[in-house]
Amino acid sequence: MPSTPVNSQPVHLNSTGCVIRRTEQKGRAARSIPRQTLIEISPVLFFSKEEYAAHGKYTVLDEYTFTWTDGRMALALGLGSLFNHSEHPNVSYSLDTSTESIRYTTVRDIASDEELCIFYGHKLWFDSAESLDPVPHCHVPEVTEDGWGDLSAVEDAESADPPLGPYLDGDPDEVIADEYLPFTRFKLPPEEEDLESIQTVDAWVVDIPDPRHITKMLKWLKQAGLETPDLGHLKRIRKQKDIATLLLATTTTSPGPPSPPPDLDLPAPYTLPVPCKPALTPISLKLKSGLWPTLFTPPRKGEAEDWTRGKARWAWEAMQAAVQAAHEAQRTGELPVAAHIAAPYEENADATQSKTCTAFTACDTRQSNAHPLRHAVINVVRQMADYRASSAAPMPRPSSSAASTSGSASSLSSLDGEDVRNGSNYLLTSLTVFTTHEPCIMCSMALIHSRAKEVVFLHAMPRTGGCGGAARLPTLKGINHRFGICQWKADFTSDSGSEDRLCIDDAIDA
Ligand SMILES: C[S@@+](CC[C@H](N)C(=O)[O-])C[C@H]1O[C@@H](n2cnc3c(N)ncnc32)[C@H](O)[C@@H]1O
């Protein structure tokens, strides 16, 4: 660590204009740096948990290490360990598991000599002394010749307000209204059912020939403890040809026929298949009510998942990872198309310490592999599956999900050997996939097979896309899973004016 006072000449700097100065505030800009500049890629040094528990944590390293996505303790080399924490960071970072490095990018224009800070998370282990630097409000510093040649930025700067600003400042748990989200959500119409796809359960019913007995039977139902919530989506009485029939209980609740009061002299109960769920569409209502009178519960406005400021920031960083990978792909002669599977956003999580799932990024490699199927989405799913297969890493375990009609979603937990053999390595259950381009029909189908929770894409592909362009696969009849679809808003592009470079021929399937 250099020991120069704050106003002396920098003794350690990198090519994008960062310099280390020994003050209470580390890591300053030696010159103005435009937003969206990749200022540092820090390789990471790892310690096993055991090594860290036995030695590392008793040393100064404890101030610098954090938990990597796979549980190892990690130390950022280069300038990475020197960024101080701020509630208003001007630098964002993303963990790149494929190269085991961390990428640091400015989130707004940085004035010369301004301290460079990242956000450590909400659980700090020290009392934060925020930098006294005034936060410049979108002022674009004049870039004058400063002796560092023309190495100031990797990306071009724009003079507009930084798109991430609204998400960086303020309460990360605050729910953001749809119009302020960085993407537009497409509302999928409720899935249309047909007679074959309606799920039913067998239930006991009893005919009540004398209508005067209906009230008595309803009372008895309550007393007998048969007013169970599993039948809450069905009406209790069906009237057909002047005969009322009462729904008693499913055969799961009551394997044998319930016994109504003998003094009513009712006929013997019998079983009927009744719908398992309420009707979401008028067609479904008609079909289900043909089996048994069913409640109609169309999806209401505002039922979409809430997005918080912290989650919007997570999405922004994930899209940025995809965009960066696409630019890198382009530099190596590939199509500028990339996909990023983000580790799930954890509310109230410490950004550096508690990630339990790994993120994956892949680009299109159909040029270098001379293989027409090596699309970015296929590559990223494959990358994740290979990683899981090789490391017995955590995988999604099916449970329930609003987005999945196959009834699967996840907490991330290890699966047993049988699941692995069954191909669970490919499951994206509960995971969001960020792509620079709307996935083509093949990739959209792969995402359905993989049970992706949602897809967020930057560029629409009207002629070839499978998420609304040429087709919208999740809405096709007979599909056994649906993923949510979101398109990134142009105003919020993480690509800072360079997005035109990601444009590809609209005849190409991404
Ligand atoms: C990764 S290091 C950052 C670089 C460190 N300041 C240095 O001089 O090497 C993390 C440590 O820096 C200090 N630190 C970082 N941000 C701080 C802040 N906002 N307020 C006070 N101390 C901070 C804490 O001691 C923390 O354990």
The domain limits of the chain are 18-162, 184-189+303-502, 200-291
Residue bearing the CA closest to ligand 1, atom 5 = 82
Q: What are phi and psi of 486, to 5 degrees?
A: -135, 140
Residue closest via CA to ligand 1's atom 22 equals 128
Q: What ipTM score was computed for the predicted complex, to two decimals? A: 0.98
Which protein residue has the closest C-alpha to ligand 1 atom 12? 84
> Cα(313) to centroid of ligand 1, in Å?
23
With helix as H, strand as E and coil as C, how does 448-498 read? HHCCECEEEEEECCCCCECECCCCEHHHCCCCCCCCEEEEECHHHCCCCCC
Going from the Cα of 53 to the center of ligand 1, the distance in angstroms, rounded, reads 21
Say which DSSP state 115 is in.
B
Q: Where are the alpha helices (DSSP H) in 392-457?
A: 417-421, 441-449
| CATH code of the domain occupying 184-189+303-502 | 3.40.140.10
64 C-beta closer than 6 A to ligand 1: yes
What was the pLDDT predicted at 176?
84
Q: How far is the CA of 125 from the centre of ligand 1 (A)?
A: 10
Q: How far is the CA of 38 from the centre of ligand 1 (A)?
A: 22
Query: Counting atoms of ligand 1 from 1, which one is nearest the CA of 76?
Result: 1
The helix (H) or strand (E) run that includes residue 246 is strand 243-250
Pocket test of ligand 1: the residue of 3, 45, 85 to mutate, having most ligand atoms within 8 Å of its CB, is 85
pLDDT digits (tens, 9 = 90+) for 68-88: 777 788 899 988 888 888 877
Nearest alpha-carbon partner for 82 in 152, 22, 5 = 22
What is the token pair recorded at 384? 């994740």
Distance from residue 85's CA to the centre of ligand 1 (Å): 7
Structure tokens at 27: 């890591």
- Using 50 as the pLDDT threshold, list the residues of the chain that sit under it: 1-10, 131-165, 351-356, 396-421, 494-497
Atom number of ligand 1 nearest to Cα 22:
8
| Residue pair 170/310 in contact by the 8 Å Cβ criterion | no
Residues in the chain: 510
DSSP bridge partners of 360: 341
pLDDT score of 411: 31
Pocket mutation for ligand 1, best pick of 42, 63, 91 (most atoms within 8 Å of C-beta): 63
How many Å lie between the centroid of ligand 1 and the Cα of residue 261? Answer: 75
The gap between the terminal CA atoms of the chain, to the nearest Å, is 47
pTM score = 0.48
Domain 18-162 fold is Beta-clip-like (2.170.270)
Residue with the nearest Cα to atom 13 of ligand 1?
84
Helix (H, G, I), strand (E, B) or coil at 110: strand
Other Cβ atoms closer than 10 A to 12: 14
Asked if residue 367 lies in contact with residue 359, where contact means CB atoms within 8 angstroms, the answer is no
Q: What is the pLDDT of residue 413?
A: 34
